[in-house]
Amino acid sequence: MLLIGPPGSGKGTQAERVSERLEIVAISTGDIFRYNVKEQTPLGIEAKKFMDAGDFVPDSVTNNMVRDRLLEDDAANGFLLDGYPRTVAQVEYLDGILAEKGQQLDVVLQLTADDDELVARLLNRAKETGRSDDTEAVIRHRLHLYHTQTEAVVSQYADRGTLTRVDGIGAVDEVTERVLAAIESVKSAS
Q: Give residue-wise pLDDT tens across range 143-184.
A: 998 898 888 999 999 999 999 999 999 999 999 999 999 999
Annotated catalytic residue: which of 11, 17, 48, 69? 11
Tell me the pLDDT band of 36, cut-offs 50, 70 and 90: confident
Q: What is the model's pTM?
A: 0.84
Known active-site residue 11: yes
Binding residues for AMP, by number, are: 29, 34, 55-57, 83-86, 90, 131, 142
Q: Which domains does the chain have, with CATH numbers?
A: 2-184 (3.40.50.300)
Q: Long-range contacts of range 158-162, CB-CB < 8 Å, 24 or more positions apart?
A: 162/105, 162/106, 162/107, 162/108
For residue 6, whether the previous peptide bond is cis, meaning omega lies within 30 degrees of 0, is no
CB-CB contact of 54 with 142 (8 Å): yes
CB-CB contact of 107 with 186 (8 Å): yes
Instruction: Identify the top-confidence range among 36-45, 64-73, 78-87, 130-139.
Output: 78-87
154 closest CA partner among 165, 144, 145: 165
Annotated catalytic residue: which of 131, 140, 165, 178? 131
Please give the pLDDT value at position 49.
87
pLDDT over 70 (residue 133)? no
H or E stretch including 122?
A: helix 115-129
Known active-site residue 165: no
Annotated catalytic residue: which of 17, 69, 86, 121? 86
Known active-site residue 86: yes
Binding residues, by number, are: 8-13, 29, 34, 55-57, 83-86, 90, 125, 131, 142, 170
Per-residue pLDDT reduced to its tens digit, 45-81: 888 888 888 787 888 878 888 888 888 899 988 999 9
